[in-house]
Homo-oligomer: A and B are copies of this chain.
């Protein structure tokens, strides 16, 4: 999160928003945000969203995710939103969205599976 300049912007039960300011180190060949940066912050948003549904003594790990890259990540700030679709005892299914700074253009969409583990 520190390497990416990422900020936890909003946390509510089942939904988390993370933002990420543009910097040169986070770009690909065209000067836009790199796919790995998008993926990292939306994975984190999904993981934190899953955690909001859990007791305090557990941890959440990513089992797998799938991401569709929809629009070029041409913006000065990324907004990633993770939402819990279904929370179970062992597995949690999340949806993740990456938007531009106006939260208007959908840049990427994630569907993820998280697992709850005892710390």
- A interface, CB within 8 angstroms of B: 2-4, 25-26, 34-37, 39-41, 43, 61-71, 85-86, 90-91, 93, 95, 106, 109, 111, 113, 115
Contacts and interface: CB of A to CB of B under 8 A. Distances in A.
A25 B5 CA distance: 12
Contacts of A64: 64, 66-69, 113
11 contacts: A36-B36, A37-B40, A39-B39, A39-B40, A64-B66, A66-B111, A68-B86, A71-B86, A85-B109, A90-B115, A111-B111
A80 to B, nearest CB: 11
A115 to B, nearest CB: 7
A63 B63 contact: yes
A111 B110 CA distance: 9
